[in-house]
Amino acid sequence: MPMNGRERFLAMLGGQPVDRLPLMPITMLFAADQIGAAYGRYALDCRVLVEAQLRTAEAFGFDHVSAITETREARDCGAAVRYFENQPYAIDESRARLADKRCLAALEAPDPRESPAMRDRLDALRMLRRAVGNTKVVEGWVEGPCGAAADLRGINTLMLDFYDDPAFVRRLFEFTVTLGLRFGRLQMDAGADVIGVGDPAASLIGPRFYREFVWPYERRLVAGLQEAGARVRLHICGKTQTILTDMARLGCDVVDIDSAVRIAEARAQLGPAQVLLGGIDPVRVLQQGTPADVEEALGACWRAAGPAYIVGAGCEIPRGTPAENVLTMAEFARRPSP
């Protein structure tokens, strides 16, 4: 019997049979382009984001809608942010919020309900839930401890802190996880089914520092969100081969696999029951390839990762990706037995 997107996702996470594979790729710039909106507006105005997400999900048959953008937390903590009309905004590390480490002691975690950037995401989730009801997955997002810390301290400076001041790193991670838990729980209250945890900087520090510094705080974040009723999707960009066994111990509901990692290796390290998502190269295959290339890449991922597999790209679907390539993803997911 046909399932809707939310039913399909929850069934897969529960180890139950599904009518077909869920389809849950990340879209940001691609979604904004579907309604002809400048990305600067998409990232700052929940009404634009919601319209773009709903239009994109409908056009391509996605099983979810998502409130993902770049960090909201750092903006509301006072980080210096550079805005652009039609491309992602960027943290200005030359004026890092915590360029002076002593500022951490006086930094108060903002209330997401009263802070403009985080409140905008909460509003987006309420609007998305009202629009899709229980027919699709509604996805919220928080920054992981390493990524959030890098946004506040500056990624290059943070890398030195691991060596120079590990106690400061732990205090900073404590701050970011506390804020992430509060923000994530409020996103659940606003209607999110799943909370994505984006921690791309975690792939840059090596397995020893990941295990010593990052993993304990990611685990606290994941466990706290799950205790609040969230399903958790972990997204760490880049080459994560050396930390896959540690990622397996986080207990996430879904783990995204970047194209820099062989998905067969991810399956072997994370185990047969872990739901994996993605794996195909978002640029060389999805944006620059042909529908046949997309078909071949998805087939390879399915053979290596199935059956606990959600169709998506290794990272965000890039701007300029041909519609026919995204439709090929949707057609692949719709097959009862890929």
Q: What is the pLDDT of residue 306?
A: 84
Q: What's the predicted TM-score (pTM) here? A: 0.96
Q: Which secondary-structure segment (H or E) carries 208?
A: helix 207-209
Q: What is the pLDDT of residue 337?
A: 61
Instruction: Classify 258 as helix, strand or coil.
Output: coil
Q: What is the pLDDT of residue 57?
A: 98
Over residues 131-181, the pLDDT tens digits come to: 999 999 999 999 999 999 999 999 999 999 999 999 999 999 999 999 999
Tokens of 84: 């652009």
- Give the C-alpha separation, 294 to 188, whole Å: 34
Over residues 222-271, the pLDDT tens digits come to: 999 999 999 999 999 999 999 999 999 999 999 999 999 999 999 999 99
CA–CA distances in Å: residue 296 to residues 261, 262, 336: 17, 15, 17
DSSP 8-class letter at 284: I
Q: Identify the segments of the chain with pLDDT beneath 50.
A: none
Half-sphere exposure of 78 (CA within 13 A, CB side): 11
